[in-house]
Amino acid sequence: MAPSRRHDRESDEDRPARNHRGGDVGRDRRRRKSPIPSSSFSKRDEDRRNRGRHEKENGRGSAKSRKHQAYRHSSSDEDSDLRGRLEEKSKDVRSHYSVQRSESPEPWLDRVGKMKEEKEEKKPQQPVQQMADAVAMKTGGIYIPPHRMAQMMRDVQDKSSEAYQRLSWDALRKSINGLVNKVNATNIKNIIPELFSENLIRGRGLFCRSCMKSQMASPGFTDVFAALVAVVNTKFPEVGKLLLKRILLQFKRSFARNDKPQLLAATKFIAHLVNQQVAHEVIALELLTVLLVNPTDDSVEVAVGFVKECGALLQDLVPLGLHGVFERFRGILHEGEIDKRVQFLIEGLFAIRKAKFQGFPAIRSELDLVEQEDQFTHEMSFEDEIDPEINLDVFKASLQFLEDEKAYDDLKKSILGEESSDDEAGSEEGSDVEDDEESEEEDDEQMKIKDETETNLVNLRRTIYLTIMSSVDFEEAGHKLLKIKLEPGQEMELCIMLLECCSQERTYLRYYGLLGQRFCMINKVHQENFEKCFVQQYSMIHRLETNKLRNVAKFFAHLLGTDALPWHVLAYIRLTEEDTTSSSRIFIKILFQELSEHLGIRLLNERLNEPTMQDSFESIFPKDNPKNTRFSINFFTSIGLGGITENLREYLKNMPRLIMQQQKPVSDSSGDESGSSGSSSSDGSSSNSGSDSEAESESISDDSRHRKKLRKR
């Protein structure tokens, strides 16, 4: 039986060796059928092997019996040792995790009391102190919501303590980062007051770092960040100077390290700062010189992009410097040592310059927020030693923290203005406020303020103009304009604005004529106002340009042609050589030509020959003097409307006969009084009639000559 147990023993010893060394190793060693060389064999096993070899020499039977006895002795010793170790461990476990039943429950109470004491000792720190410790950590601490942080800051009693200063510094950093990250061209006007409400003097380093990081992440918003910096630079020039220093240093480092992404971001930021007049234009020329002194593909590409961004401004401020830069580009192009792609970029830049940088404006209209005289321009050089002042980005406790904060609050009020109302008024002051309001109302009733600035009138004209321009057709415009509440006496402003809008158009639009016709038909007040406008415009017709004059004449022709305006307004026009100017004759010409197009020459002639309206047309067709009659006939004939002067021509032909008929009663009455005087008067009348007939013949001959000239033309 001893050999079998020996075999089992050996198999048990081999098994842990295979487990520890892995299955593959054990398989390989079984394949080789070699004993496992392991340090786990004890010295006792080696002695047993030696003893077995020695017993082989003496005899197999006695050796087996001795080996069996030795095995039993060794196994019993090992079992006793293992049993002792297990008992010791079980005692330790029982003593640690259990309690004897015979013991009283007092030790349990003692343990519970100890646990409570330990919990009390390990109570958490105060929230403010915990917050300060978290912020003080290099990792930035845990995240705390803004409302929670504000509550903790309010709970701090000592506002000048270092813990409170750390909390305020962290809140300032988060606020500046948030405002810079969400700024764009649409909300920049709303972000600027919020940004000025933060302490930018204390956090100028944070502001510059945030702007540079945001611009690096979003180069498309570079002009927005530059506009934001330009506004801040007007109030705090040291902030703009610090940012410009850091950007120039970033350009120098990226150019030396050949870091193209950072180089592109830095050059684009510098270009837009030059456009906003934060950086001097000499910096732009110096930067181009640095990039083009030893041209490479990347440096030339960066220079081309820089000129595209700020070339429009450089063309206005330093045209000679920009000309030198383009001559350098031309030389690089002729050398031909750069890549074809970059050569095409230079050729495209020349085309943009020829088009006067159209499509590449210096400043967009929505980002033009600073007046030129309010801006501070900083001059620097790339050769100067630049101190980025990195220490401004790190928290540092200040002994004058409260004084500095109070000084910035006063400065903020001067920049943003103080609030007009006090929100913290107590309930006890409510009655006093009501009494003050009642007294103010009484004072307002007693005192009437007269506005001499005509602000309401300007606002009314603006409303009328926008309504006219934004309407699709005249019906919509009329409907909207009638809804405007006009005070008594303001109806005239509506007619004036309608006429002004019509005169400002390049060509006459029938839209205005229809709109004026609608108002004249609706209310007689508007009709009377348009009559006044006609008289006023004709009296100042010499001040209008030809285009405005034409539009006004066509507008009134439409009103007259549709009977929206009465024809007796033409009585104000006196068509004589002495009473007209070149502008007024052009106005009358366009007016009657438009009427002939609206009505036709036949209908126009009928309207002008109405017996009831002859008093109104007497000034246009004068019959007081042959010279004025002849001028009116010649005027209408020259503009192609000679057909409306037929009655005037007949009158001019019959004028000598009418004069003789008027003088006959005078001669008869004088003959009855004295015969001698009658004969002399008859002789005089015959001579006068002869002279009148001669004048008539001369006028007819002049008229015929004028007609011949017109036919030749």
9-26, pLDDT tens digit by residue? Answer: 444 444 444 444 444 444
Sequence-distant (6+) residues with CB within 8 A of 656 are 689, 692, 693, 695, 696
pLDDT band at 383 (very low <50, low <70, confident <90, very high): confident
Angle at 516 between CA 514 and CA 522, to 5 degrees: 100
Read off the pLDDT band of 676 (50, 70, 90): very low
The DSSP-derived string for 529-570 is HHHHHHHHHHHTGGGS-HHHHHHHHHHHHHHHHTTSS-GGGG
CA 330 vs CA 282, 284, 323, 590: distances in Å = 21, 19, 10, 58
Measured distance CA(402)–CA(160) in Å, rounded: 6
Res 17: pLDDT: 43
Between 10 and 314, the higher pLDDT residue? 314
Query: Rounded to an integer, what distance in angstroms lies between the CA atom of residue 167 and that of residue 149?
Result: 8
pLDDT value at position 70? Answer: 47
- Listed in sequence order, the residues at least 6 apart from 477 whose beta carbon sits closer than 8 Å to its beta carbon are 467, 468, 471, 511, 515
Residue 621 has pLDDT above 60, yes or no: yes
Q: Which two tokens stand for residue 185?
A: 């061209």
What's the distance, CA 247 to chain centroid?
24
When comparing pLDDT for 54 and 318, which is higher?
A: 318
| Identity of residue 551 | N
Q: Which pLDDT band holds residue 278 (cuts at 50, 70, 90)? A: very high
- Provide the pLDDT for residue 292: 93
**Angstrom distance (rounded) from CA 543 to CA 681:** 53
CB 274 within 8 A of CB 281: yes
What backbone torsions phi and psi does residue 279 show, to the nearest 5 degrees? Answer: -105, 145
Place of tokens 């085309």: 351
Is residue 286's pLDDT more than 80?
A: yes
Among residues 292, 303, 297, which one has the least CA distance to residue 270?
303
> Tell me, what's the pLDDT at 32?
45
The confidence score (pLDDT) of residue 673 equals 46
Largest Cα–Cα separation, the chain: 211
Res 628: pLDDT: 86
**Is this model's pTM higher than 0.85 or not?**
no
Contacts of 254 by beta carbon, 8 Å cutoff, 6+ apart: 260, 262, 263, 266
Helices (H), 387-454: 401-416, 430-446
Token pair of 665, please?
Answer: 């009663």
pLDDT digits (tens, 9 = 90+) for 677-697: 444 444 444 444 444 444 444
For the stretch 40-97, pLDDT in tens is 445 556 666 666 555 555 544 444 444 445 444 444 555 566 666 666 666 665 554 4
627 Cβ neighbours under 8 A, 6+ residues apart: 577
Per-residue pLDDT reduced to its tens digit, 142-153: 667 777 777 777
Query: Mean pLDDT throughout 119-135?
Result: 49
Question: Please, are residues 194 and 179 in contact by the beta-carbon 8 Å criterion?
Answer: yes
First-last CA distance in the chain = 153
Single-letter amino acid, residue 113: G
Q: Which 3-state string (H, E, C) describes 86-120? A: HHHHHHHHHHHHCCCCCCCCHHHHHHHHHHHHHHH
CB 493 within 8 A of CB 457: yes
What are the C-alpha distances in Å from 632 to residues 28, 531, 537, 587?
133, 24, 22, 15
Question: Which residue type, as a one-letter code, is found at position 539?
Answer: S
pLDDT at 559 (0 to 100): 92
Residue 25 contacts residue 14 (beta carbons within 8 Å):
no
User: Average pLDDT, stretch 322-330?
Assistant: 93
Q: Which of 200, 195, 128 is nearest to 167 (CA)?
A: 128
Residues 6+ apart with CB under 8 A from 707: 637
Q: What DSSP designation does 8 have?
A: H
Q: 131 or 393: whose pLDDT is higher?
A: 393
- Chain-wide mean pLDDT for the chain? 76
CA gyration radius, the chain: 54
- Is the pLDDT at 460 greater than 70? The verdict is yes
Token readout for 559 is 């009103």
Q: Please spell the DSSP secondary structure of 625-689, one letter per residue.
A: -HHHHHHHHHHHHHTT-GGGGHHHHHHHHSHHHHHHHHHHHHHHHHHHH-HHHHHHHHHHHHHHH
What is the SS3 assignment for 454-521? CHHHHHHHHHHHHHHHHCCCHHHHHHHHHHCCCCCCCHHHHHHHHHHHHHHCCCCCHHHHHHHHHHHH
Task: Compute the average pLDDT of residues 346-359.
Answer: 91
pLDDT in the model for residue 452: 67
CA 507 to chain centre: 34
- CA–CA separation, 264 and 274 (whole Å): 15
Q: Quote the DSSP letter at residue 611.
A: G
Reported as a pLDDT band with limits 50, 70 and 90, residue 117 is low
